Every structure is written in C-alpha cells, then in structure tokens.
C-alpha cells in the first residue's frame, strides 16, 4: 500500500538534460529522456508527497500533480532548485552539463564564405547543483540528498568517490555505456549506495527503480 506515507513532505526532483547555448540556435546537450526522473517524481506523488519537479529537455511530460518548472541551462536549473527549497528531500536525476560555452553569441555564428577552418568553443565550468545542496548547512539542508552517477567504466569506484566528493547521502549509480540503453530506454540497472558498500539491484523498469527508491525514502521518513 503506497498510501500517504510521504504526506506533508516536500521533495525537489531534477530530471532531463540541460541545454547549454552556443548561440541563439545551437546548444550542447545530452540524450537524457527524463523518463527516470519523471518516474521518481510520480512515485513520490503516489505516496502523498509534494513535489517540485525541475526539468530540462525531456521526451516525456512532467507528472500531473507536480509543481513543474521547465528550465534550459544548468545555471537556470541551479537557480530553480535553490528557489524551490526548503524541502525534506532532494533527488538529482537530471543529466546536467558539467561545462558550458564561455560566450553564448547573441547572433547566430556565421559560416564565412570560403572558410576552411571551424570555430573552437571555449568551455567553462557549470555550478554543481547537487553538491551545492548537499553542502547547505543546518535547516537549509534537506534531510535526505540523493544523487545519481552516470558512469561508463569502473562504476563502483567512480560512484563511491562521487558520493564522497558531492556529499550526498544516497547515490544511485547506473551504467550509461551505449549498449546498456540507459539514456532514453525504459529499463535501468542500479548499484545503490547508502554507504561505501554497494547494493546491486536487478535490472528493472525505470518505474520499478522509482518505486523501490520511494519505498526506501518512505521507510527513512517513517515517524518523522
């Protein structure tokens, strides 16, 4: 029974891919479909939670019933997340660009007639949204901060180090090598960290991942 186990609790959930503008018509992004993040928001809503759903480019609509805020770039996502706080929990499923073009041209970059070379794009670091929330202090910090780790090699070691570095409480690592079909697909294979000890979940639908996570969250908040 999902019931109302998270009634009265507020969660911030990020989902989808950010788009980092190069000029008014071009951007750098990734293949996130938003399916996993949307499923997580839905599972929290199903348990009675209030959800602020902050989403970038997605193939699926935001879940009905969420307070949904559409954003473009990582910087916009950062602002929207911090505006949506405080919350009891925050789950960072968005595929956020680590870097953005230093200058987003106001006008479309023109291809010069007869040019044989191509422009180089200088990149700068984006803010780390998850880390910025995990490092908040006192009442400003959600009690439970959950990150994801998208890895293509050495998943357990990289994910364990990422959890430490970002300061999140729980972390869900997934293999995003193209043959896994994690980006855009309907299935996911999670290695779950509540501590340094990895817990292997079977391959399951993104909905089942979301339900399993939401049940773990509900257990954690039981009685609080």
Would you count residue 32 as binding ligand PMT (CB under 6 A)? yes
Q: Kindly report the number of other CB atoms within 10 A of residue 206's CB atom.
A: 21
Q: Which among 30, 126, 174, 188 is annotated as catalytic? A: 30
Instruction: Convert residues 38-67 into a mask of x (bound to ligand PMT by CB under 6 A) and - (unbound).
Output: ------------------------------
Burial of 220 (0-12, 13-18, 19+ CB in 10 A): middle
In angstroms, the CA 203 to CA 187 distance is: 7
How far is 39 from 45, CA to CA, in rounded Å?
Answer: 10
Distance linking the first and last C-alpha atoms of the chain: 19
Q: Which stretch binds ligand PMT (CB under 6 A): 61-69, 144-152, 191-199, 212-220?
A: 144-152
Contact between 183 and ligand PMT (CB under 6 A)? yes
Among 94, 144, 155, 217, binds ligand PMT (CB under 6 A): 94
Q: Residues 193 to 222: which contact ligand PMT by CB under 6 A?
A: 206
Q: Is the dihedral of CA 95, 44, 174, 36 positive or negative?
A: negative
Gap between the Cα atoms of 183 and 205, Å rounded: 13
What is the β-pairing status of strands 67-70 and 10-15?
A: unpaired
Size of the site for ligand PMT (CB under 6 A): 29
State the minimum distance, in angstroms, from the CB of residue 29 to ligand PMT.
12
Q: Is 126 a catalytic residue?
A: no
**Site map for ligand PMT, 2-31, x if CB under 6 A?**
------------x-----------------
CA distances from 68 to 12, 15, 17, 24, 137 (A): 10, 11, 15, 25, 26
Task: Kindly give, in sequence order, each residue whose CB lies less than 8 Å from that of residue 160, ignoring residues fewer than 6 positions away.
Answer: 193, 196, 198
Question: Does residue 80 touch ligand PMT according to CB under 6 A?
Answer: no
Contact 213, 146 (CB under 8 A): yes
Binding-site member from 41, 49, 96, 214 for ligand PMT (CB under 6 A):
96
Binding of ligand PMT by 145 (CB under 6 A): no
Q: Is 186 annotated as a binding residue?
A: no
149 binds ligand PMT (CB under 6 A): yes
Nearer to ligand PMT, 5 or 207 (CB): 207
Return the active site residues: 30
Positions touching ligand PMT (CB under 6 A) are 14, 32-37, 74, 92-96, 98, 126, 128-130, 147-150, 162, 174, 176, 182-184, 206
């Amino acid at each position: 029974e999902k019931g109302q186990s998270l009634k009265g609790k507020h969660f911030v959930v990020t989902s989808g891919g950010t788009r980092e503008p190069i000029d008014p018509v071009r951007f750098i992004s990734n293949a996130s479909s938003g399916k996993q993040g949307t499923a997580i928001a839905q599972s929290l809503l199903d348990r009675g939670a209030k959800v602020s759903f902050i989403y970038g480019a997605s193939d699926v609509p935001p879940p009905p019933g969420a307070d949904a805020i559409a954003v473009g770039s990582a910087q916009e996502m950062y602002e929207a997340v911090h505006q949506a706080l405080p919350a009891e929990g925050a789950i960072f499923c968005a595929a956020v660009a680590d870097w953005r073009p230093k200058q987003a041209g106001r006008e479309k970059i023109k291809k010069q007639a007869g040019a044989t070379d191509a422009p180089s794009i200088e990149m700068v670091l984006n803010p780390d949204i998850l880390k910025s929330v995990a490092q908040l202090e006192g009442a400003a910090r959600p009690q439970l901060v959950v990150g994801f780790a998208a890895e293509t090699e050495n998943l357990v070691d990289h994910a364990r180090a990422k959890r430490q570095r970002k300061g999140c409480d729980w972390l869900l690592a997934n293999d995003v090598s193209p043959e896994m079909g994690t980006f855009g697909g309907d299935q996911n294979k999670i290695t779950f960290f509540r501590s340094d000890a990895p817990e292997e979940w079977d391959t399951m639908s993104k909905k089942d991942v979301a339900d399993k996570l939401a049940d773990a969250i509900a257990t954690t908040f039981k009685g609080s």
